[in-house]
Amino acid sequence: MKKKIGYIALASLLVIQVFSIDKTNPPIDPAMDFLQTEGIPDNVKMGVKNACMDCHGNFTKYPWYTNIEPVSWWIKGHIDHARGTLNFSEWNAYTAKDKEHAARECVEVLEQGWMPPSSYKMMHKEARLDEATINAMIDYFKSL
């Protein structure tokens, strides 16, 4: 019986590999992009680029493990949620009030250490920001 269940599980895992995610990034309009339109200090720009834009922008680089289902579904869900919450690639589509709110949220998640998530930092060493970069990002977002 255990052997049969194992075969069914293996067959199911193989079958779901057919249902891969769409890894196409939405088009980027430079006139809308946070990194290209705001006067951001270089250290803040690198912090946002290395720790935020992969999920909160249209620059997602899908790593090798997104070729494995259902892992890719989980990651794609996180990316879709992140872009829906804040998309730096569409920054100038936001109202002034929305930008102010987003900046306050950025400060909060950076101060609390919630972003980038530990699971992301584990797989992306460039997202492990030092204290100086985090503080520079916090100061910048407070100034918006």
User: Is residue 108 within a helix (H) or strand (E), and if so which, with residue range?
Assistant: helix 96-112
Distance CA 12, CA 40 (A): 48
CA distance 48 to 40: 10
- Cα torsion angle, 8, 10, 13, 14, sign: negative
Q: What does the pLDDT look like over 93-121, one tens digit per residue?
A: 999 999 999 999 999 999 999 999 999 99
Residues in the chain: 144
Query: Cα–Cα distance between 14 and 3 in angstroms, integer?
Result: 17
At 82-92, the pLDDT tens digits run 999 999 999 99
More confident: 131 or 8? 131
Euclidean distance between CA atoms 49 and 28, whole angstroms: 15
CB-CB neighbours of 99 under 10 Å = 17
Q: How far apart are CA 84 and CA 40, in angstroms?
A: 23
pLDDT tens by residue, 33-80:
999 999 999 999 999 999 999 999 999 999 999 999 999 999 999 999
What is the gyration radius of the CA atoms in the chain, in angstroms?
Answer: 18
pTM score of the predicted model: 0.86
Closest alpha carbon to 88 in 124, 47, 126:
47
